[in-house]
Amino acid sequence: MQTRRMSWVEATTNTVVGFLVALATQYAVFPLAGIELDAGGHVLVAVPFVLTSILRGFLLRRFFNWVDSRCGR
């Protein structure tokens, strides 16, 4: 079973990688949609989603660890 700390590390690492991919995608796709942002604008759009993603990943990991522990493993 994974500790809470390792769940947090895993969720954060996964989200940081996702954040970098999202920024690259925003830079590629936003201009095609007519959306022009500077670097700060891209970060401002991405940060709330990143924080939500970290929390979501952590809570889901803890939930599934809880379910796994209740199934007699």
Q: Is the pLDDT of residue 73 over 80?
A: no
Q: Please tell me the number of Cα atoms within 13 Å of 40 on its side-chain side.
A: 0
Cβ neighbours for 37, distance < 8 A, ≥ 6 positions apart: 26, 30, 45
* Domain range list for the chain: 4-70
Q: Tens digit of pLDDT for each residue in 1-59?
A: 778 899 889 888 988 898 898 899 889 999 999 999 999 999 998 888 888 888 888 89
Q: Is the pLDDT of residue 72 over 70?
A: no
Q: What is the pTM of this model?
A: 0.63
